[in-house]
């Protein structure tokens, strides 16, 4: 089964504290959560581990965001767009529904 959103897709956040921000998908978890570069930055407290020479402290990292809160960004219109599937020469390809442009 092909997913509508894949790694290295350019997306836009449509809901939440980072609404309107644009980023690139880095990782996908269990079909409904994704990590997007530069989106949903949180502070994480890390304990020091002296045996492994690791320092503790507070670090900033990207947390996951639900897939329903993001949409694929159409490069022609610079707006969020819905995705459809069609077959072209026996291959299943994704396309933007607004202008029928196929996605790389």
The CATH class that applies to domain 10-75 reads mainly beta
| Separation of first and last alpha carbons in the chain | 17
> What is the phi/psi pair of residue 85, to 5°?
-125, 145
Round the average pLDDT of the chain to a whole number and report it. 93
Q: pLDDT by residue (tens digit) across 17-47? A: 999 999 999 999 987 999 999 999 999 999 9
Give the tokens for residue 49.
Answer: 């581990």
pTM of the predicted protein model: 0.82
Q: pLDDT by residue (tens digit) across 74-102? A: 999 999 999 999 999 999 999 999 998 89
Q: Where are the domains of the chain?
A: 10-75
């Amino acid at each position: 089964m092909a997913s509508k959103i894949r790694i290295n897709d350019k997306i836009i956040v449509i809901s939440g504290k980072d609404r309107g921000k644009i980023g690139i998908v880095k990782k996908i978890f269990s079909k409904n959560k994704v990590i997007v570069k530069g989106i949903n930055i949180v502070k994480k407290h890390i304990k020091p581990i002296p045996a492994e020479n690791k320092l503790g402290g507070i670090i900033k990292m990207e947390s996951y965001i639900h897939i329903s809160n993001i949409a694929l960004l159409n490069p022609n219109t610079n707006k969020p767009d819905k995705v459809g599937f069609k077959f072209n020469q026996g291959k299943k390809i994704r396309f933007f529904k607004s202008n029928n442009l196929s996605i790389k």
